[in-house]
Structure 1
Amino acid sequence: MITVQDLRKVYRLGSREIPALRGVSLHIPRGEIHGVVGPSGAGKSTLVRCLTVVERPTSGSVTVDGKELTALGERELRTARRSIGMVFQNVNLLDNRTAAQNVAHPLELARVPRERRKERVAELLELVGLGDRGAAYPSQLSGGQRQRIGIARALAAEPSVLLCDEPTSALDARTTHSILQLIRDVRDRLGVTVILITHEPAVVKEACDSVSRLHDGRIVQQGPVAEALTAPESELAHDLLPLVTAASDAHAEDVVDITFSGDAKGTELLSQLARRFDVDARIVAATVETHRGRQYGRMRLGFGPGAPMPQILEFLAGNGVAAEVVR
């Protein structure tokens, strides 16, 4: 559905070259919600501009639904962009227009007949849960409601792709949850493919099926979110499942981080380790999360003197538990 191949963007400042994207490649199947996460300066904003070819990449290609956008001229590109709906952190609604008129705006630009516009706007307002707020102006709406109108407006032209650039950054936790749930509902009902750009790992964990971690213009990790949650050696796993300290590890001779999922419960493993190897083991830090109805967790375990670590690590691996020796 969406294929990005070796995308590079270099800015020139006088005689200096400043690379912003360094060979980014992505493949996102139809109907998937793919998160791109990374800190400020990682290249996320440049990637958004290059995905829509608002800014031409220095090299590489962007293909959406079989059409290579980077090979199109400006006229063809304007038509092709209609297949991509855009949702931004700053919704930028027109203050002098009602919610319904804001949603209708792209349809007016596309010269959709008035009666069809009216029907489409009513459908979209119902879809985003604001069927009774069409006559309200942006100043009369909450931040979450304005973002819902922004999503409805992005869907007006029936795009196959929804590109969301930091859509929840300005929202509180409760509203963020409702907007992410709406994005998933939109995907499930309309079948759109979603790219969700964010600097918040919690957003990826809650909304996305797969994820790419962008750092210094490069993708340094990529894959299903479920795999990222069980890869203790990766920065993305540490971001998605941050450890909450329970006790000091100062008295432990060996410290190991374990990542478990599903039936491999951490507390059960701890009791099994104690019985099997007659070791003094305790939880130094722990966190447990649920993703798509399945439980995932990380624990930092401290082992007392004399613990047979090679055998313990072999036992953990045999039970499907990823382990990383911290000390």
Structure 2
Amino acid sequence: MTLPGPPRDRQIPDLDRGNQTGTYEFLLMGLSEHPEQQPLLFGLFLGMYLVTVWGNLLIILAIGSDVHLHTPMYLFLANLSFSDIGFISTVIPKMLSNIGSRSKRISYGGCLTQLYFFGLFADLDNFLLAVMALDRYMAISQPLHYAITMNSQRCILLVAGSWVVTTFHALVHTLLVTRLSFCGPNVIPHFFCDLVPLLKLACSSTHVNDLVLILVAGTLLIAPFVCILTSYFYIALAILGIDSPKGKQKAFSNCTSHLSVVSLFYTTAIGVYLCPPSSPSGGKDQVFSVMYTVVTPLLNPFIYSLRNRDVKGALGKILRRNMFNTLSWD
């Protein structure tokens, strides 16, 4: 896509000029500009990426292979795992590629593509966390009505609705960015094409973009967060009514671990998108972005599923089956 160029009388650096078709490029500065830190960052984020992808793939495999896990809770977990894989895969591979090739460039089209899929999977994580909290509330607070309330049709509708809303929301932000002009230098002080630093680079008016970001994105971010907090408040009240001290302690332990990851995701995301930017930022946005784009997808498999006895049992069956097949072939 071609954007309006800068004035003719301006000295244009190579990055601003792009190629002969007028296509823009951006520079992703990454997390550090020090060459000696690049190998450490590469190894650290590669390891986190592999653990996240494999952990979430194992969860999807376990849920898909065990009919006992074909329940609403595990349907939502499988979708969350898929979303986490897409979420981290939108950001980290390009970051690792830039470190490995020592190139910070990303094309205009590549930047918009990353922006779209990042928004899609970030919003999807947001909605799925709220749906999962609502599901746990119904299971714990209203167990007698759970099977009727959370029937298969309603669960599919919740998941499909989350996909539709997030797809549309990400598309709106991406299309609004295409109407902006970038006069350069197109240097993004970030490790991926995020919406906030892109808006700061624009030399045309971003009033509409800012308004949509505050109103729509704010609503879609805050409303699920409030839903999660409300659900866990009533869950906590229900747990207090449990007679068994051991059962009460286990339930509170699970709720605390869930809320810790949810709080990490929302506080850092709100800090980036809804709080006024600091000047200078001192790298705050980059650190917060690492928290909700890398750390939370890494923690979700351990917090939501790999601590779960049913999921571990399904994974054990898969491993035993594979070992049996291997021995049979030998």
Structure of higher CA gyration radius: 1
Q: TM-score, normalised by structure 1?
A: 0.22
Q: TM-score, normalised by structure 2?
A: 0.22
Structure with the bigger percentage of strand: 1
